[in-house]
Structure 1
Amino acid sequence: MFNKILIANRGEIAVRIIRAARELGVGTVAIYSTADRDALHVHLADEAICVGPARSTESYLNMNNILSAAVATGAQAIHPGFGFLSENSKFARLCEEMNIKFIGPSAKVMDMMGDKINARAEMIKAGVPVTPGSEGEVHTTDEAVKIAEEIGYPIMIKASAGGGGKGIRKVNNVEELVPAFEAAQAEAQAAFGNGAMFIERMIFPARHIEVQILGDSQGNVIHLGERDCSLQRNNQKVLEESPSVAIGHTLRNEITAAAVKAAQHVSYENAGTIEFLLDESSGKFYFMEMNTRVQVEHPVTEFVSGVDIVKEQIRVANGNELSVKQEDVTFSGHAIECRINSENPKFNFAPSPGKITNLFLPSGGVGLRVDSAMYSGYSIPPYYDSMIAKVIVHGENRFEALMKMQRALLEFDVEGVITNVDFQLELISDPHVVAGDYDTSFLGNVFLPEYQKED
């Protein structure tokens, strides 16, 4: 096993990785920006090294400084977490060249599946269903208009590179197309340095279903079931659960088998997620994209499967076989995750950085977990993502999980900054959500208009 790994991230995911590594007996190195000098991951790691100023481009995205930190501390591997450099094939390739193990798939596979156009082509080869759309990169509005006419409206314009909801626009008709394409392309160029786009027919309304997969260097690939991530705002996930109430036994077998087939086709190694759109009216599902990293919502899968995904990532990167085979994986109960952000839902979800003057995280009982890097007296910097915690619950059934989440959110107390805890509590208590009657349109078209009417 590795003696020491470097965590190229911050916040709760850095804390999560440090804890997993410590339980495996692996030493850890934290990196931090000058704004994160007092961050929890810095205190928890065995070593910590500053890699630059507050701006992400000068610190958490600074490949040279991060690799130099790995060499200086003798780290044998780098875990990128999610976001930042986690899906950057150039960084993965640099790690390979420097004989530092990147805890994730190879740069070649990242290029193949991280680019949505390449991924789409590979899924067609693998026999995985994809939505009708453009066959290559789209660079101009003239191309976009022609392709949209061929596949029919409504359509989705998406950045070929990157993720996190950036460079994506829904278009209902030709009048909306040109301004939407130009805005999405400009956003993609700014976020990823790549303005290449692609277009596909929009499956709407739909369920956003993703399947967690794990692969090792011996060719073993398994799935850990599905997650329903349909509750989204501006293409950003808000709440996730597993299993999905929209999927029965037969469809579950079909969609998880398609995910395994997709991962096997590209000889996938480490943790990854195959994302699908499910048309509930027809029962058909379509490949959307692959995330070549650990997901924010991985804890719900850990609860229902009993498999520690982050530990598996480290073991696989070390050359070990997966610790479980598909026939060993069993699923139990129901899990839900709510993302807690320092933001003001009543003011268009504006970020709310500042000093936490008091913090009480919910605890007690079986099946409750809070992943966070917050502590009382900590100052949330304004430079990074606003997520401050994830509340994850597990129950014998969905009703028990819902009630446990309501209890946990009622206990969650933070002072000094504004959070979305009350928003999440209202969402988890909404009759439609309680009944499992929602899709990707629900939050924006049904819940938020009513929520924003309230004082």
Structure 2
Amino acid sequence: MFQKILIANRGEIALRVLRACKELGIQTVVVHSTADADAMHVRLADESVCIGPPPSRDSYLNIHQIVAACEITGADAVHPGYGFLSENAKFADILAAHNITFIGPSGDHIRIMGDKIEAKRTAKRLGIPVVPGSDGAVTEEKEAKRIAAEIGYPVIIKASAGGGGRGMKVAHSEADLEVALQTARSEAGAAFGDDAVYIEKYLEKPRHIEVQVFGDGAGRGVHFGERDCSLQRRHQKVWEEAPSPALNAEERARIGGTCAKAIADLGYSGAGTIEFLYENGEFYFIEMNTRLQVEHPVTEAITGIDLVHEQIRVASGGGLSVRQEDIKFNGHAIECRINAEDPRTFTPSPGTITHFHTPGGLGIRVDSGVYSGYKIPPYYDSLIGKLIVHGRNRVECMMRLRRALDEFVVDGIKTTLPLFRDLVGNADIANGDYDIHWLEKYLAKEE
């Protein structure tokens, strides 16, 4: 087991990892920018190192400073959390070169899954169902028209190096295709420094289903069930739940088994999430995230297994602590992402939290690094906390969630809490009857 882990992140995920380390008896080091000097994870860590000014490029994305912090403190491993350097293959390689363990997959696996085109090829080879579309990057309009005609309109054009909805355009007809192709390539080049795009069939009313997987790096793989992340705004997840209200036991076992086998065959090590669009009983691979997900607590709630403990165990060479038959699913869990944003316009709302009170009681968990008097800096993601609620079934979970949202108090700034109070009372949400377009349509009606 590791002696000392450096946590290369901030906010609630840094605190989440820190708690897991403390439970395992591992010393902790956190890094922070000058803007995060008073953050909760900095206060609670065994050691902290300031690595630069507020801009992420000068601190949390500064590989040289993070490696230096490891060497200064004697950390023998790094947990990257999510975001920042968590899916940076170069970072994983550099740590390996300095004999520091990256708590995550190999740089090669990060590279494969970080390239959307190569990821799709790999998924297909591993037996994972994929969305019909181009086999590689599309550069010519003529080729794009041929592929679109073969798979049928509408089609979606995506950036190969994309994420967060950037470099994505939908074409409903051949007349739309030329502009969509040019716009997607332009956006991709500006956002990612790579204008490569590919084409896929655009599904009209799909759900976003993702499967939590783990590999031991030596040919064993397991899955921890699925999460439904269909409630999204601008391709950003807002509400996640497990299990999905849309799947039955047979579908759940089928896609979970497919993903676990693929991870084993790939020789993958650590946590990963294989994401799908789901429509009319069929799953279509869209991407794989080679890290811990923001929404991992809902999986922990229904399995009772600490996924960060599992990450650390696998990275230290201890292998997986469970076999597939050991993983049981219990009840239902929902996570709401609480952001420091206006609940209607979604404009960021940095500032000082004057009062912060979290809900409690059976089945309630809040992952947050903020506190009364904490000043939210304007430099980073607006997520300030996650409310995770667990019940014996979805009905009980929704009842408990409604009560927990009523108890949650954040004063001094605007948050998205009012949005969730609206959603929990909506009939479609109560019935689990929604797709990836539902939330944006709902918000458009409210304007």
Cα offset for 1:205? Answer: 0.7
Where structure 2 has 5 or more consecutive residues not aligned to the other structure, the ranges are none
Q: Aligned residue for 2:62?
A: 62
Given the alignment, which residue of 400, 406, 422 partners 2:402? Answer: 406
Kept after mapping to 1: 8 A contact 2:219/2:265: no
Distance, in Å, in 2 between the alignment partners of 1:165 and 1:48 is: 35
Whether 2:20 is the aligned partner of 1:24: answer no
Q: Aligned residue for 1:418?
A: 414
Cα offset for 1:234? Answer: 0.8
Cα offset for 1:411? Answer: 0.9
1:135-214 correspondence runs (5 A): 135-139=135-139, 143-214=143-214
Code of the residue aligned with 1:224 in structure 2: it is: F
Distance, in Å, in 2 between the alignment partners of 1:129 and 1:321 is: 28
1:210-359 correspondence runs (5 A): 210-280=210-280, 283-347=281-345, 349-359=346-356
Aligned residues: 447
- SS class of match (2:344): helix
Q: Aligned residue for 2:49?
A: 49
Cα offset for 1:242? Answer: 0.5
Question: TM-score, normalization: structure 1?
Answer: 0.95
Runs of 4 or more above 6 Å deviation: none
Q: Mean Cα displacement is larger for which, 33-42 or 324-333? A: 33-42
Which string of whole-angstrom CA distances, capped at 9 and with x for unpartnered residues, describes residues 360-385 of structure 1? Answer: 1111x221100001111111111111
Q: Aligned residue for 2:439?
A: 443
Q: Aligned residue for 2:424?
A: 428
Cα offset for 1:104? Answer: 0.5
Distance, in Å, in 1 between the alignment partners of 2:74 and 2:170 is: 47
Kept after mapping to 2: 8 A contact 1:6/1:29: yes
Distance, in Å, in 2 between the alignment partners of 1:142 and 1:52 is: 48
Q: Aligned residue for 1:396?
A: 392
Kept after mapping to 2: 8 A contact 1:139/1:195: no
Which string of whole-angstrom CA distances, capped at 9 and with x for unpartnered residues, describes residues 380-414 of structure 1? Answer: 11111111000000000001101111111111111
Kept after mapping to 2: 8 A contact 1:4/1:26: yes
Q: Cα distance 1:416–1:29, how it changes in 2: closer, same or farther (>3 A)?
A: same
Identity in percent:
55
Q: Aligned residue for 1:378?
A: 374
- SS class of match (1:345): coil
Distance, in Å, in 2 between the alignment partners of 1:318 and 1:244 is: 32
- SS class of match (2:273): strand
Distance, in Å, in 2 between the alignment partners of 1:92 and 1:405 is: 38
Cα offset for 1:118? Answer: 0.8
Distance, in Å, in 1 between the alignment partners of 2:65 and 2:138 is: 34
Distance, in Å, in 1 between the alignment partners of 2:350 and 2:9 is: 19
